[in-house]
Structure 1
Amino acid sequence: MARVFRWLVRLTTALIVLVVAVLALVYYFASRSLPEYDGTRSVAGISAPVEIVRDNANVPHIFGETDEDIYFALGYAHAQDRLWQMTMLRRTVQGRLSELFGERTVRIDEVLRRYDLYRAAVASVAVQDERTTAALEAYAGGVNAWLEEVNAGARGRGAPEMWLFNHAIAPWRPADSIAILKLMALDLTSNLEDEVLRARVSLLLSNERLSDILPDDPTDAVIALPEYAALVPGVPAFTPNMRLAADPLSPFGSPALRGASNAWAATAERSATGSTLLANDPHLGLTAPSIWYLARLELETGGIIGGTIPGLPVILTGRSDILGWGLTSAYVDDVDVMIEEVNPDNPEQYRTPDGWAEFETRDSIITVKDAPAVTLRLRATSNGPVMPRSIYDLGTITPPGHVAAISWTALSNRDTSMSSAIAINHARSVEEAIAAGERFIAPAMNLTLADRNRIGMKVIGALPARDPNHQSRGRLPAFGYLPENRWQGRFAYDENPLVLDPIGGIIGNTNNKTTDRPFPYHITHLWGDTQRIHRWRGLMQAREVHTRDSFIEAQLDTVSYAARTLSTLMGADLWFTGDPAPAGTPERRRQDALQLLAAWNGEMNEHLPEPLIYAAWARAFQDRLIRDELGPLASEFTHVEPVFIERVLRDIDGAGIWCDVIQSAPVETCTDVARQALDDALIWITENHGEAIEAVRWGDAHEATHDHPVLGNTPFLEWVVNIRQSTSGGDHTLNRARTSGEDPHPFRNVHAGAYRGVYDFADPDSSVFIISTGQSGHPLSRHYDNLGELWRRGEYIPMSLDPALARAAAVGVTVLEPVQN
């Protein structure tokens, strides 16, 4: 027995030693790709020495003699910290994910190949201005210099993920950066999905009820639309389609999670500082690492600092010493679904206003890891690329004998958006920045500006020119062969909305409606926000003058105007009614929940139970309203639509009829549905968060999920690469923290302001910013998540252009020297 015991001890010891040795070996190889920030490197492609000074937050401050050398060093720094992220963005837009991930990503690659964004980016290189061409080439040179160092210096393949997904890395090209900007446009648009969803719902509901569930902004005049069944007859019955958004690697996020951002500015008259103020927090999906990367560039026109996206040689949102710029999604209706009739006698032809024409066709081969390659036949019409019925639910709205083609501004092969972005970085005044925006194509953005004397907001990006007689005014798929449905170029830049130095002294945007112009000058029918704007107006008008801190306070505000409105309406006939119920009964739990909500101010604080009660109640209420009318289509409505619920509860235009369950004999009232939905919500909370309703926390359900797109679902590794945080805010707060809407974790925070910046031009170096994770994309780096806790707590780091401050607490200084011939 003792002998057996000794052998068991030896085996256990050997196993522990083996596990430790394997872990040490894994750590050794993974840590080899951690960049060294101190040192001097000899590189080809620069004209003079360049310094990359990394401050104590690992923000690179780049100093050199020429702009080209500065862009070179930015490419080098991006590649040092985010090489894997950059290569993944490039692979995504190229439609080449399946080379690494096999059959899992074939459908994603297929859609990207059909859009052909990368070929359009390659063609667009030739139309950039001279300064931008030089910047793109220099930036690519910097990325490639780091790749050469990785290859020559045993740098652990450049990133730990490369050990798991080893594949040759092609040199960076100028077209790669333009393509990533186009991929950003794909991430920010939801017009295609919105058109298809509106068409699908139109097949089930009358126009009156369609205006309830898919409402216009309540301050807009409602535009009467033809019913889709009459517009495009012969549409097949409902058939489920594959979901492109399901994979973490997919750039096709849910339309409910598309672009949402905040930006506002104040003139000197509305500022306590005597100069202008500007705040910006663009909202994108949360990932680890963040899509944002902070950087400072000392250009020939002066220093600029702010948020970049690895792969792009521009500061997208930030400031110089005298100018600040911020971005919000303009929600421009820049996509149309064109229903193209196929020639029944020749499937290679489609109908045009001038008769039958040949499809443009070519083959594209997708290489698939551990599986046979897939050959696609790509087709396009004069309206745009043809998409198969199996994606975007197009099969549900496309009649037999037809296909769907996509018109989209980002498909331009003469896209000068990069030149526009570079010009904005060099601008020295509001007027110069507005002029620089003229060449911007996609994604369409609201550019908010402030210099030391003026503020302004201009929509930049191409606005499609539609015929006033367009059958659906761009809101529904329409026949592409009818001249009135086809695009007629784009509007002149002067037609894009502009506001300069308003009388009230403050401008801002929360993705709310920015213009009342009628179709076809309307910009869009669908705005991104109808709720946050109310809270913003109140905060801005509550003070005669503002400060940097009051702008920060607004940026971090978590009071939900929607929650205040909807909880009051849903509980209108339930507050303090009925006899007291015994403890432990459903009636008592309902009374306790209502008592909590009655004293609540709508603050979506992570430590409170009320936000979770409200959110679960509103979600259950909406589902009960629509499930009987829409059937399986109800699952497409993953988030609460406050305007819809308010229309129902106020019975606007007869919308109260939604409360009656059409399959049941009794006539249900909205009070009945509200009471039943509250019970549904409390059952869900009990099953997921415990029985003590007063002890539940919103933050436990509303956890921010900064997940690694590739390794985030890998056992054990997920504990290393994912960053999870309890957070405040919600779908309709200024500190917008959009929930997933998907079971089993419908309230997880998945889309938020991953960059925040506030700029004070009375004292520019007192400006501040923050990102949601850290600068490094390497999970073993201390800079992988060091900014994340500051972000969660609503704290910031200084945004200074003072070189002495950057050097004072630098974590490293890299000097790039030109190779001596």
Structure 2
Amino acid sequence: MAFLFRWLLRLASAAIVLAVIAVVLVYYLAARSLPDYDKTLAVAGTDGEIEIVRDNSAVPHIFAGSDDDAFYGLGYAHAQDRLWQMVLLRRTVQGRLSEVFGRRTLDTDILMRRLDLYPLATRSVAAQDPETRAALRAYAAGINARITEINEQSLGRGAPEFFLFNAPIAPWQPADSIALVKLMALQLSGQFRDEILRARTSLLLPDPERLADILPDIPGDGTAALPDYASLLPGATMPRYASAPATDHTALSPVPERGMAGASNAWAAAPDRSAGGGTLLANDPHLGYTAPSTWYLARLQLQSGDVIGGTIPGIPAVMLGRSKRLAWGITSSYLDDQDLHIEELNPDNPEQYRTPDGWKRFETRRSIVEIRDAAPVTVTLRWTDNGPVLPRSRFELETITPPGHVVSMSWTALSDEDSSMSGALKLMQAGSVEEAFEASKAYVAPSQMLTVMDRESVGLKLVGAMPRRDPAHQSQGRIPSPGWIEANRWQGTLPEADHPSWIDPSGGIVGNTNNKVVDRPFPLHVSYNWGDSQRVMRWRQLMQGREVHTRDSFIEAQLDTVSPAARTLLPLIGRDLWYTGEAAAEGTPERQRARALDLLANWNGEMNEHLPEPLIYAAWVRALQDRLIRDELGPLANDYDHVEPLFIERVFRNVDGAGKWCDVIRSVAVESCSDIARMALDDALVWIGERYGTALESLRWGDAHQALHKHAVLGDIPVLRYFVNIRQSTSGGDFTLERGVSSGKGDDPFLSVHGATYRGVYDFADPDSSVFVTSTGQSGHFLSRHYDDLGTLWRRGEYIPMSLDADLARAASIGVTRLVQE
């Protein structure tokens, strides 16, 4: 027995020693790729010495004698901190993920090949002005200098992920950066998903009034009557499986789910609305939470003046931020820049499709997708006059496509003369609102609302190409339309004069929360689908609530967590429930309902992470919407996984007979809206009790509303996910200015997955008091202390200085990298 015990002890000790050695080896290899910020490196391709000073938050301040060298330094800094992120994004837009990840990303690759974004970007290089092409070459050279350094000095392949996924790194090319702009346009586009859902819903709800309830228009004039979707295709047999549950969960797909396309807040105040007498601007773009964040903070020394703000690794531009003369922010415009077309196939020759002039052959090209550990797949890409043909198996397209037809897409980003990159670089050099608006004319996609200020003026403008549609368009771009009818086809783009813009309005404040900005009839309407009908109400109240503003009042507005939706809906859905119940014993559903109603009756609508009321309210309205629509829509109700306040308000105010939704059509009794509200509250309380306990007063909204910043590849791997994902208890909600959109899915429907990934507030009364922050940190390396350090500040509503003082950057530096000529 003693002999056996000794050998078991020896084996256990050996196993522990081997495990320790393995951990140390893994840590050593992973740590090799941690960048050294304090060094001198000889590189090729520069005009002179480049100095990269990292402040105490690892924000690089890049000092160079020429613009090209400044972009070279930015490329090097991006590659130091975010090389894996950049390579992953490039592979995504190229449709080459499966070479690394195998068959699980094949559908994503096939979709990206069909959209053809990378070839379009390659051809768009020629559309840039000479200065932009030079900047793209210099930036690419800086990235490649870092790749060369990694290879020559064995620096852990550049990032730990490269050990897990062996992905050879090709040199960076100018077209790669333009392709990432197009990829960003895809990530910010959701109009075609709305078209599909509207078409699917119309097949189940032929009554146009009920369709207007569940997919309401933002209040305002200008909406014309629309045809029923099925009537657009006379003679075609429409499939009747529009209620099929969604199945589009493709790995690493850049296409946002419905409601998860870009959003944002931005506003600016003229000097007479500023307490300090200078202009003010605040901006917080909203994107899906990722680790690391989309944004990377940087400062560039340019000949036209230094700029500082948010960049996107892979793109050589400060996309939002400030110089000494100008500050700018961006928000999603929600321009309807996508249309789907139903294309009829020639029954005698499926290689042809119908056009206004008869049958025409598809433009086709074969593309080979290489797959790790599997045989390659050859895909036939097809284009029509209207755009690329989309795969029928994606986005539930099979539920709205008649037999013998396919679906194509028109989209402004499908241009091989996309000069958006030139516009972004020109914007950094602008010195006035007028110059900024002039530079913005080069933008094609993605379309944005550009908020700008110089030292005297403020302005707001929609930038990006606006499609020109025929006034006789059958669906006005709201649902897929027959592609062979001339009136449904795009007729180029609208002139610059039709882009909505404002400079120095009489009220002295401009702003956008993705709300409806113009009330013009089709086809100058901009969009029917807007990203906000609620936040804008709170924004107006905060902006008009004081005569003058300060940097701190703008910060306060960015971090505001009061929900206008809650303040509107609670009095409606609870009006017959408050103080009307009879006495009930402890532990009964009636007693629990009374306790919940008492809490909500004394709540001011603030979605504070420490309060129980936001969780009770959110669970109630979620259950309420599901009860209202489930019997009419069946499984399609799963696609309506986020509450639409306008729908619930229409129902409880019985607008145009919308109160009909309250009656359960499959029951004998006639249910009232109060009945449904009471049953939904009970549903919510049962769910809360099972998930968080029955002690309502001790609930915390932040326990349910945690922000999940997820690593794109490693975030689902057991054990490792605890090191690479970042979870934080947060305030706010879907309809607050401090926006945190819930997932709407699974066991954690209130998990916050989309919100402000960057916040900046700029004050030209004291420019160096301007501040900014991102949602994670500068580094993409999970062993770096800068992987999540800014996220700690972001979660607390704190910021770091945005200063162009070179001495201040050097005084607080954690390292200085000098790139010198070989």
Asked if TM exceeds 0.5, the reply is: yes
Secondary structure, in 3 states, of the residue corresponding to 2:301? Answer: strand
Residue matched to 2:47: 47
Supply the AA of the counterpart residue of 1:212.
Answer: D
| Deviating more after overlay: 218-227 vs 208-217 | 218-227
Secondary structure, in 3 states, of the residue corresponding to 2:327? Answer: strand
Secondary structure, in 3 states, of the residue corresponding to 1:375? Answer: strand
Secondary structure, in 3 states, of the residue corresponding to 2:349? Answer: coil
Residue matched to 2:657: 654
Secondary structure, in 3 states, of the residue corresponding to 1:361? Answer: strand
Residue matched to 1:131: 131
Which of 254, 259, 263 is the matching residue for 1:256?
A: 259
Residue matched to 1:192: 192
1:220 Cα shift?
3.6
1:222 Cα shift?
3.7
1:284 Cα shift?
0.3
Residue matched to 1:395: 398
Residue matched to 1:469: 472
| Deviating more after overlay: 578-587 vs 272-281 | 578-587
Residue matched to 2:596: 593
Which of 754, 766, 770 is the matching residue for 2:769?
A: 766
Q: What pairs up with 1:67-82 in 2 under 5 angstroms?
A: 67-82=67-82
1:219 Cα shift?
2.7
Secondary structure, in 3 states, of the residue corresponding to 1:72? Answer: helix
**Structure 2 Cα separation of the partners of residues 756 and 231 of structure 1:** 45
Q: What pairs up with 1:298-337 in 2 under 5 angstroms?
A: 298-337=301-340
**Structure 2 Cα separation of the partners of residues 679 and 248 of structure 1:** 37
Secondary structure, in 3 states, of the residue corresponding to 1:113? Answer: helix
Residue matched to 2:733: 730
Residue matched to 2:38: 38
Provide, for residues 707-757 of structure 1, a one-character-per-residue CA deviation record: whole Å limited to 9, x for no partner.
111001111111111110000000000000000011111000000101000
Which of 282, 286, 292 is the matching residue for 1:289?
A: 292
Q: Is 1:223 matched with 2:243?
A: no
Secondary structure, in 3 states, of the residue corresponding to 1:380? Answer: strand
CA 1:469–1:210: 2 relative to 1, 3 Å:
same
Secondary structure, in 3 states, of the residue corresponding to 1:372? Answer: strand
Secondary structure, in 3 states, of the residue corresponding to 2:820? Answer: strand
**Structure 2 Cα separation of the partners of residues 704 and 516 of structure 1:** 35
Residue matched to 1:485: 488
Q: What pairs up with 1:6-17 in 2 under 5 angstroms?
A: 6-17=6-17
Secondary structure, in 3 states, of the residue corresponding to 1:390? Answer: coil
CA 1:252–1:244: 2 relative to 1, 3 Å:
farther
1:240 Cα shift?
7.5
1:399 Cα shift?
1.3
Supply the AA of the counterpart residue of 1:226.
Answer: P
1:364 Cα shift?
0.6
Contact residue 330 and residue 448 of structure 2 kept, 8 A: yes
Contact residue 222 and residue 522 of structure 2 kept, 8 A: no
Contact residue 744 and residue 750 of structure 2 kept, 8 A: yes
Contact residue 248 and residue 709 of structure 1 kept, 8 A: no
Provide, for residues 753-804 of structure 1, a one-character-per-residue CA deviation record: whole Å limited to 9, x for no partner.
0100000001100000000000000000010011111000000000000001
Which runs of no fewer than 5 residues in structure 2 stay unpaired?
Answer: none
* Paired residues, number: 819
Residue matched to 2:148: 148
**Structure 2 Cα separation of the partners of residues 38 and 475 of structure 1:** 55
1:693 Cα shift?
1.2
Provide, for residues 400-424 of structure 1, a one-character-per-residue CA deviation record: whole Å limited to 9, x for no partner.
1111110000010110000011100
Provide, for residues 30-82 of structure 1, a one-character-per-residue CA deviation record: whole Å limited to 9, x for no partner.
00000100111111111000000000000000000000000000000000000
Provide, for residues 535-578 of structure 1, a one-character-per-residue CA deviation record: whole Å limited to 9, x for no partner.
00000011000000000000000000001111221111001112
**Structure 2 Cα separation of the partners of residues 247 and 584 of structure 1:** 44
Supply the AA of the counterpart residue of 1:496.
Answer: H
**Structure 1 Cα separation of the partners of residues 159 and 242 of structure 2:** 42
**Structure 1 Cα separation of the partners of residues 585 and 565 of structure 2:** 32
Q: Is 1:98 matched with 2:101?
A: no
**Structure 2 Cα separation of the partners of residues 220 and 508 of structure 1:** 21
**Structure 2 Cα separation of the partners of residues 24 and 220 of structure 1:** 66
Q: Is 1:625 matched with 2:635?
A: no
Q: What pairs up with 1:124-523 in 2 under 5 angstroms?
A: 124-205=124-205, 206-233=207-234, 234-238=237-241, 246-247=249-250, 249-523=252-526
Contact residue 200 and residue 243 of structure 2 kept, 8 A: no
Contact residue 473 and residue 487 of structure 2 kept, 8 A: yes
1:9 Cα shift?
2.1
Residue matched to 1:531: 534
Secondary structure, in 3 states, of the residue corresponding to 1:374? Answer: strand
Supply the AA of the counterpart residue of 1:14.
Answer: A
Which of 533, 541, 553 is the matching residue for 2:556?
A: 553
**Structure 2 Cα separation of the partners of residues 247 and 290 of structure 1:** 21
**Structure 2 Cα separation of the partners of residues 444 and 774 of structure 1:** 27
Supply the AA of the counterpart residue of 1:24.
Answer: V
Provide, for residues 139-197 of structure 1, a one-character-per-residue CA deviation record: whole Å limited to 9, x for no partner.
00000000000010110000000000012111000000000000010011111111111
1:245 Cα shift?
5.7
**Structure 1 Cα separation of the partners of residues 249 and 800 of structure 2:** 35
**Structure 2 Cα separation of the partners of residues 584 and 242 of structure 1:** 37
Contact residue 132 and residue 422 of structure 2 kept, 8 A: yes
Supply the AA of the counterpart residue of 1:15.
Answer: A
Residue matched to 2:647: 644
Contact residue 242 and residue 390 of structure 1 kept, 8 A: no
Supply the AA of the counterpart residue of 2:228.
Answer: E
**Structure 1 Cα separation of the partners of residues 7 and 220 of structure 2:** 80
CA 1:220–1:738: 2 relative to 1, 3 Å:
farther
Supply the AA of the counterpart residue of 1:224.
Answer: A
**Structure 1 Cα separation of the partners of residues 604 and 585 of structure 2:** 28
Secondary structure, in 3 states, of the residue corresponding to 1:424? Answer: helix
| Deviating more after overlay: 577-586 vs 49-58 | 577-586
Q: Is 1:695 matched with 2:694?
A: no
Provide, for residues 205-253 of structure 1, a one-character-per-residue CA deviation record: whole Å limited to 9, x for no partner.
1111000000000234442111111112421121687967635622122
Report the RMSD for the aligned CA atoms in angstroms: 1.0
Contact residue 49 and residue 821 of structure 2 kept, 8 A: yes
Supply the AA of the counterpart residue of 2:794.
Answer: W
Secondary structure, in 3 states, of the residue corresponding to 2:754? Answer: strand
Provide, for residues 475-494 of structure 1, a one-character-per-residue CA deviation record: whole Å limited to 9, x for no partner.
11111111110000000112
1:387 Cα shift?
1.0
Secondary structure, in 3 states, of the residue corresponding to 2:85? Answer: helix
Supply the AA of the counterpart residue of 1:97.
Answer: L
**Structure 2 Cα separation of the partners of residues 104 and 377 of structure 1:** 20
**Structure 2 Cα separation of the partners of residues 108 and 600 of structure 1:** 45
**Structure 1 Cα separation of the partners of residues 357 and 245 of structure 2:** 35
Q: What pairs up with 1:610-621 in 2 under 5 angstroms?
A: 610-621=613-624
Contact residue 339 and residue 480 of structure 1 kept, 8 A: yes
Which runs of no fewer than 5 residues in structure 1 stay unpaired?
Answer: none
When the two structures are superposed, what TM-score results if normalisation uses the length of structure 1? 0.99
**Structure 1 Cα separation of the partners of residues 622 and 376 of structure 2:** 43
1:2 Cα shift?
2.8
Supply the AA of the counterpart residue of 1:228.
Answer: Y
Contact residue 242 and residue 391 of structure 1 kept, 8 A: no
Q: Is 1:713 matched with 2:701?
A: no
Residue matched to 1:798: 801
Q: Is 1:673 matched with 2:676?
A: yes
Percent identity reads: 64
Contact residue 307 and residue 316 of structure 1 kept, 8 A: yes
